[in-house]
């Protein structure tokens, strides 16, 4: 299947202060002005840095994303951030259903779907994360689990919209472990088939990102796997010296 331009998105998780952001954005902008990226590039910093990032990249194609949003638009949810608030702060994307949210906060497919729908309603492109645990993979259930997550976490509202799916095996996140290229291809093909079944051809161009210990050393091989439409990068997005070679590999 023909792939549209790849998306390389950095997930900073709960890392980074203003000075860290300034340093990374300064270095990325310099490098990408000298040689433009041939992919979409996004940074998803902590919510506290979103408007600062949006200001810093106003004249630059680096995209700005949130790491989570609430499904509700407003209300008595102390500490909550809505999709409209992220949009208002300058974000264009938002990650939903990251395995850390699914595990730490007990987020279900149903809630992830509601968050993705809220993102679309607010004009944000959701990056919907799916992925199996080590136990599920060892039980031979990786494809089945991921297929179920796609069927239940992707709302019809994303049909024809700007959105992405990220396949992130839970056991590969932050561990330095990665699936084989064959395993990545197998799951990405299954994700594409499930997306087509769920949403039809209108979403055939939506990229399927791979995430989990992507680094400069493995990015080129992973990004060349059929149906890999980009990468969601955690640890290696915190420094321009690591993130840039991954962008260049796309």
Active site residue 98: yes
Q: What angle do CA 149, 154, 155 make, to 5 degrees?
A: 140
Nearer to ligand PEP, 161 or 213 (CB): 213
CA distance 27 to 18: 14
Alpha-carbon separation of residue 220 from 1, 133, 171, 173, 214 (angstroms): 19, 25, 21, 18, 10
* Cβ 13 to ligand PEP shortest distance, Å: 6
Three-state secondary structure call for residue 166: strand
Nearer to ligand PEP, 107 or 168 (CB): 168
Choice among 63, 132, 168, 227 that is catalytic: 168
The verdict on 232 binding ligand PEP (CB under 6 A) reads: yes
Three-state secondary structure call for residue 232: strand
Name the pairing type of β-strands 40-44 and 7-11.
parallel
Residue from 184, 208, 144, 232 nearest 1 by CA:
208
* Cβ 33 to ligand PEP shortest distance, Å: 26
Q: Six-digit token pair at 115?
A: 């968050």
How many CB atoms sit inside 10 A of residue 68's CB?
A: 21
- Helix then strand count (H, E) for the chain reads 10, 8
Tell me the site size for ligand PEP, rule CB under 6 A.
Answer: 13
- The site map against ligand PEP for 6-35 (x = CB under 6 A) is -----x------------------------
Active site residue 168: yes
- The site map against ligand PEP for 143-182 (x = CB under 6 A) is -------------------------x----xx--------
Residue of the chain from 126, 131, 179, 234 that contacts ligand PEP (CB under 6 A) = 234
Instruction: Tell me the residue nearest to ligand PEP as measured from the CB.
Output: 234
Choice among 63, 98, 117, 227 that is catalytic: 98
* Cβ 211 to ligand PEP shortest distance, Å: 4
What positions carry a catalytic annotation?
98, 168
């Amino acid at each position: 299947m023909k792939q549209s331009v790849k998306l390389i998105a950095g997930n900073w998780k709960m890392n980074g202060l203003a000075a860290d952001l300034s340093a990374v954005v300064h270095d990325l902008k310099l490098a990408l002005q000298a040689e433009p990226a041939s992919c979409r590039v996004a940074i998803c910093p902590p919510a506290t840095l979103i408007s600062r990032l949006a200001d810093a990249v106003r004249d630059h194609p680096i995209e700005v994303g949130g790491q989570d949003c609430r499904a509700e638009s407003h209300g008595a949810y102390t500490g909550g951030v809505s999709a409209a608030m992220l949009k208002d702060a300058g974000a264009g994307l938002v990650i939903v259903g990251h395995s850390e949210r699914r595990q730490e906060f007990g987020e279900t497919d149903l809630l992830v779907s509601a968050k993705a729908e809220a993102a679309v309603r607010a004009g944000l492109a959701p990056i919907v994360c799916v992925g199996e645990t080590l136990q599920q993979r060892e039980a031979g259930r990786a494809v089945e689990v991921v297929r179920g997550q796609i069927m239940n976490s992707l709302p019809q509202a994303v049909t024809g919209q700007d959105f992405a799916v990220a396949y992130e095996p839970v056991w590969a996140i932050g561990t330095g472990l990665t699936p084989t290229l064959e395993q990545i291809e197998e799951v990405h093909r299954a994700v594409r088939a499930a997306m087509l079944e769920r949403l039809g051809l209108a979403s055939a161009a939506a990229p399927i990102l791979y995430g989990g210990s992507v680094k400069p050393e493995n990015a080129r091989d992973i990004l060349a796997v059929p149906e890999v439409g980009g990468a969601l990068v955690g640890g290696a997005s915190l420094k321009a010296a690591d993130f840039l070679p991954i962008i260049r590999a796309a």
